[in-house]
Amino acid sequence: MLRALRTSTQRMLPKGWGDVVRQVGLFAGVYIAYRLIEGAVDGSSAPAFANARELISLERALGVFVEPQIQSWAYGSHLLIVAATYVYITAQTFILFGLLLYLYLRHNRSYYFVRNMMFIAMVIGLLGYAFFPTAPPRFLPNWGFVDTVAQITNTSPHNNAISGALVNPYAAVPSMHVACAAMIGWTLARLVRNRFARAWWIVWPLLITFVTVITGNHFFIDTALGLATAGISALVASRLARVRPHVWAFRPQVATFTPQPTFAPQSPSLATHTVSFSAQAAAFASQPAGAVAESATSAVAS
């Protein structure tokens, strides 16, 4: 029983409990540091609202400032708004950590590449928050936006000191929700084998983009910069993997093929000779001893 338990544990944890503790500690440390720094770079609201108005002006010039209309359309379904709100709230916590755990357990060979991508994206995100603080659309009711998180949950992440220290209300550019969704979604789309699961993970970043827009948390430009953050992070992680290619490289599971031994058929002439020889040997063995001696003497005499 102990051997079966040990085998099961080894199958579930490819690198043992030591690596599990190491990876959990590393990711938790980096994530908490990221949240603390994000909260620390929470600057003045004046530049954040000014930058938000600049994004609106840019989107209007490009003809893509349609977020208020999309959110207004989504409010036609209370169920859609409630579902989108809770997906947004959990996307960067339970959903993200659950998917990372799945990657570690089921696709361990590629987990370390994804982890490095995440760390790089966090650095890019912090740079964006520090140098281009931006108020999210939900802070702009005069433009027709609604704060769905506050409306649906009757809470705000900035109401207490702890969450206020970990959350920057002006961390809208880039959208880390979309960046993480792209990094996780595109990775799983390359790893899973079921075609329906693959299709789901391909559209996962688009789904999260839709969620962030209808909940009033991001402009389309924010989401585009989130996709760019994911792409840059993947590129840098690929370069970084050259340092430790046997650990940090993206290595999807490749189906293995074990060739079966093949035997060439005997030629008809060889098979005929083999059968003939076997028949002669059997007939010789069935003769009496005297007849065998006589046959041998006759053969020698001749």
Residue with tokens 């007939």: 283
Average pLDDT over residues 113-128: 96
Alpha-carbon distance of 246 to 20, in angstroms, equals: 18
Question: CA 74 → CA 7, 71, 228, distances in Å?
Answer: 50, 5, 26
How much is the pLDDT for 251? 83
Alpha-carbon distance of 187 to 252, in angstroms, equals: 9
Alpha-carbon distance of 264 to 301, in angstroms, equals: 43
Does the pLDDT value for residue 173 go beyond 70?
Answer: yes
Mean pLDDT (the chain, rounded): 83
Does the pLDDT value for residue 105 go beyond 80?
Answer: yes
How much is the pLDDT for 158? 56
- Each residue's pLDDT tens digit, 202-256: 999 999 999 999 999 999 999 999 999 999 999 999 999 999 999 899 988 654 4
Question: CA 67 → CA 3, 56, 83, distances in Å?
Answer: 58, 10, 18
pTM reported for the whole predicted model: 0.78
* Between 82 and 272, the higher pLDDT residue: 82
Angle, helix 195-214 to helix 220-240, in steps of 10 degrees: 130
Tokens of 241: 């993997």
Average pLDDT over residues 134-151: 94
Considering 30-44, 59-73, 254-268, the range whose residues carry the highest mean pLDDT is 59-73
